[in-house]
Amino acid sequence: MDHQQRQHRLALELRKLRLGGMLVTHLPNVRYLCGFTGSNGVLAVAVSPRGLKLAFFTDGRYTAQAAEQVSTARVVIAKGPAVLEAAVWLAKHATHGPVAFESEKLSVAAFNTVKKTAGGSWKPLSQSVEQLRMLKEPQEVAQLRAAVLLASSVFEPVVRDIKPGITESAIAAQLEYLCRRMGAEGMSFDTLVSSGERSALPHGVASQRAVAPRGFIILDYGVILGGYCSDMTRTVHVGKAGKEARNMYNAVLQAQLRGIEAVRAGVLASDVDRAARTSLQREGLAKYFTHSTGHGVGLEIHEPPGLRQAKAGNTAAAVKPERLEAGMVITIEPGVYIPGTGGVRIEDMVLVTQTGCEVLTPTPKQLIEI
Ligand code: ZN
Ligand code: ZN
């Protein structure tokens, strides 16, 4: 990964905003900008019209790791809290304007201490590094592809072992075990396995419930590989699916395909949401689609852009409509959840291209009856 190039892109943004520097505390952003993967690290970035100066602060546990991973910033082993030493360094070196901090990631208490300790002028900044991270570099796409393939490869063996009576948590455990055996560093989020009427919970974390002889099971999971997350959902049916269940499944599948078709560089993220939502509307199921159509994926499981409805009440999207660009990696995951009955969700990861998109998730989507 070319950290220096990323740092220069950030410096460009900071200069544009007439800022003198930035205190980067959000770990995925720290990793993105300088390569550090540990659990305590703060990056201080000072910009001037001529140049760029960086210092990375961590604690004694990471002396060796920081020396190995961080070659594009001066490494400082802090004696006290890394964030405070970074702030003091910035007060001294960022002299060409106020210093930005990540207002969504730094607690009020931490910020107050920073301000008191370092003094100077501070400015809240939202999603600046996240904006850079939206466009994936070829190496990042390769890493995401590998994560997607690993997760997909365990789907079939896991489904083969599902039978009535097995608990949701046993299914999740087997799934996670196989992922780890295949080399996953971890799961990108708590594995969701929801069966029967629990499948009507859009965020159904695996429970002790035993799988009933008949009904849907939603499996939503992802792995972390090389720091990058994957995310996929498939819904299977235990027993033979009745007409209603089959219709519901097909409606979600159609909506998912319409969503994928709508993806292309230049379109609004909200247009992709609309394509999926309109498709469900035609089946009279849009009122059961209670979340957004998708999200960006990368070093974090949920990143910008958000593929959500552009309408009143959705102020974030209303202020700044997000447009898809070639190189973004996003999920397309419409779902239908009927309380008391059950739910269906189908989710793929796709790479946005100039002319459309490439579906990264290879797992088939026709209805599996167990
Ligand atoms: Zn998911
Ligand atoms: Zn997702």
Buried b (16+ CB within 10 A) or exposed e, 126-150: ebbbbbbbbbbeeebbebbbbbbbb
Q: How far is the CA of 67 from the centre of ligand 2 (A)?
A: 35
Ligand nearest to the CA of 291: 2
**327 φ/ψ sector (left φ>0, alpha ψ -120 to 50, else beta):** left
DSSP string, 181-237: HTT-SEESSPPEEEEGGGGGSTT-B--SPBPPSSEEEEEEE-EEETTEE--EEEEEE
Q: How far is the CA of 33 from the centre of ligand 1 (A)?
A: 26
- Tell me which ligand sits closest to the C-alpha of residue 307: 2
- What pLDDT is attached to residue 319? 56
CA of 329 to the centre of ligand 1 (A): 14
In the reported structure, the alpha carbon of residue 50 is separated from the centroid of ligand 2 by a whole-number distance in angstroms of 41
3-class DSSP state of 334: coil
The pTM assigned to this predicted structure is 0.95
Q: Give the CA distances from residue 64 to residues 26, 69, 101, in Å, rounded to whole numbers and listed in that order.
A: 21, 9, 27
Q: Compute the chain's Rg from CA coordinates.
A: 23
- Counting ligands in written order, the one closest to the CA of 302 is 2
Q: Measure the CA–CA gap between 17 and 19, rounded to whole angstroms.
A: 5
Q: Find the largest Cα–Cα distance for the chain.
A: 69
Ligand 1 center–CA 157 separation, angstroms: 19
Measured between alpha carbons, how far is 328 from 268 in angstroms, rounded to an integer? 13
Q: Which ligand is nearest to the CA of 294?
A: 2
Q: What pLDDT, on a 0 to 100 scale, did the predictor assign at position 315? A: 55
How many angstroms does the Cα of residue 291 sit away from the middle of ligand 1? 12
Ligand 1 centre to CA of 345 (Å) is 9
In whole angstroms, give the CA distance from residue 20 to residue 282: 52
* Closest of 53, 23, 56 to residue 40, by C-alpha: 56
What φ, ψ does residue 162 adopt, rounded to 5°? -80, 130
Residues near ligand 1 ion, CB 5 Å cutoff: 220, 231, 233, 347
Residue 251 near residue 336, CB atoms below 8 Å:
yes
Please check whether residue 57 is in contact with residue 89, taking contact to mean a CB–CB distance below 8 angstroms.
yes
Strands (E) across the chain are located at: 21-24, 41-47, 52-58, 74-77, 99-102, 122-125, 186-187, 192-195, 215-221, 223-225, 228-229, 232-238, 294-296, 303-307, 329-332, 335-338, 342-345, 348-352, 357-359
Residue 89 host element (H or E): helix 82-93
Residue 75's pLDDT is 98
CA of residue 139 to ligand 1 center, whole Å: 23
Mean pLDDT by 10 residues, the chain (370 residues): 96 96 98 98 95 97 98 97 97 96 95 95 96 97 98 98 97 98 98 96 93 97 98 98 97 98 98 98 97 98 95 58 96 97 97 98 97
What pLDDT, on the 0 to 100 scale, is given for residue 317? Answer: 47
